[in-house]
Chain A
Amino acid sequence: MANPMKIRAANKDGVTEVKVLVSHEMETGQRKDSAGAVVPAWFITELTAKHNDKLVLSSEFGPSVSKNPYLAFKFKGGAKGDKIVVSWKDNKGDTRSDEAVIG
């Protein structure tokens, strides 16, 4: 199981800014190890964010996204105490979901 995500969400003037730091290797499938063998691709393909069960962001990643992906976005609405749930899925079928409270 992958490590938890770090999620910060803050509401200011009716706009909620969400910052997510995901823990993931994001192997491109192009790198070779010391023995010269290609390291197989392993990266997050889909990431979604929900605010109180309403989808606020749905993204698809390719292998060009950095190791331990960082993501920031804003949406209208949301109040202090509301719940943000971020979930991802990688190309090996591993998934993870974490939640945070808007502060």
Chain B
Amino acid sequence: MNTQRRNVLKAGSGAALMTVLAAAGIITPGMALADWNKAAFDAKSMADTLKALGAGAPADSKDVQVTGPDIAENGAVVPVGVASTLPNITMVAILIEKNPNALAATFVLPEGTEASVQTRVKMGQTSNIYALVKSDGKFFMATKEIKVTLGGCGG
């Protein structure tokens, strides 16, 4: 059983992982929210999230930009953006290191869609934000620290 579980965990990420887990009878189809990557969204730490996304240990890249305010006065609405000049980007993910679940969102980009995505996230406290991109099958990331001030005094 244990070796089977290891193999399942190694087998991959995303839809593939869900399919494998369902096939192995570890999760029932009803538990799997269609293709939603529950394993990645449930992961608590950065390392577990990266593993669930199949990213391993991504290299830092200057060609990935993560944008956001230096100081967010309201942690409930923090605008963040990811952009990259790397070729053939198929996936973009936003991770917030100190949130209860690190992964905020993933975006799958079909051919023709540019690697430039903006959204708004919630942050429980001051934390590093990671932008993860998959380019030519390899993972790269960039980091930015955003300070969250609960008092709204900007300090």
Contacts and interface: CB of A to CB of B under 8 A. Distances in A.
A73 B113 contact: yes
Nearest to A90: B33
Q: Which 9 A-B pairs have the closest CB atoms?
A: A64-B104, A66-B120, A72-B118, A75-B113, A58-B108, A74-B114, A62-B41, A59-B107, A45-B36
Chain A binding surface SS class: strand
A81 interface: no
Interface in B104-155: 104-110, 112-114, 116-123
21 contacts: A15-B114, A45-B34, A46-B36, A56-B113, A58-B110, A59-B107, A60-B36, A60-B105, A62-B103, A62-B105, A64-B105, A65-B105, A65-B121, A67-B77, A67-B122, A70-B118, A70-B119, A73-B113, A75-B113, A76-B114, A91-B33
A24 B79 CA distance: 17
Interface string B79-110: 10100000000000000100111011111111
Interface in B49-98: 76-79, 81, 96
Given A45-B33, A59-B106, 5 more contacts: A26-B122, A46-B35, A62-B101, A71-B119, A73-B118
A89 interface: yes
- Which range contains the number of B residues in contact with the other chain? 20 to 34
Interface in A48-100: 54-67, 69-77, 89, 91
A74 B116 contact: yes
B17 to A, nearest CB: 13
B107 A73 contact: yes
Contacts of A59: 105-108
Contact of B116 (A55, A63, A65, A73): A73
